[in-house]
Amino acid sequence: MRQLSEYINNDFKPFSSNETVAEIQDFFADCNFSHFSVLNDGIYMGCISSVDAETFEIQKKLADYRYALEGFFVRESMIWLDVLEVFARNNANVVPILDERNNYIGYYEITDVIKFLNETPFLKETGGIIVVEKPIIDYSMSQITQIVESNNGKLLGVFVSEATNDKVQVTIKMTLGAMNEIIHSFRRYNYDIVSEHHEDDYLNNLKERSEYLDKYLNI
Could you tell me the CATH number of the domain that includes residue 128? 3.30.70.1340
Same domain, 152 and 205: yes
What does the pLDDT average to over 144-158?
91
Nearest to 73 by CA among 14, 117, 133: 14
Asked if 127 and 67 sit in the same domain, the reply is no
Last residue of a domain, one of 84, 117, 150: 117
**What are the tens digits of pLDDT across the range 60-118?**
999 999 999 999 999 999 988 899 999 999 999 999 999 999 999 999 999 999 888 88
Output the pLDDT for position 1: 59
Domain shared by 54 and 74, yes or no: yes
Domain end point (choices 117, 135, 150): 117
Q: Do 147 and 202 share a domain, yes or no?
A: yes
Which range marks the domain in which residue 113 is found?
A: 4-117
> How many angstroms separate the CA atoms of 142 and 123, rounded?
22
* Sign of the dihedral through C-alpha 183, 187, 189, 193: positive
Question: What is the pLDDT at residue 212?
Answer: 42
Mean pLDDT score of the chain, rounded to an integer? 87
Confidence band (pLDDT; 50, 70, 90) for 172? Answer: very high
- The answer to whether 37 and 14 have CB atoms below 8 angstroms apart is yes
Number of structural domains found in the chain: 2
E-strand stretches of the chain: 15-16, 35-40, 43-49, 74-75, 94-98, 104-109, 128-135, 155-163, 167-174, 192-193
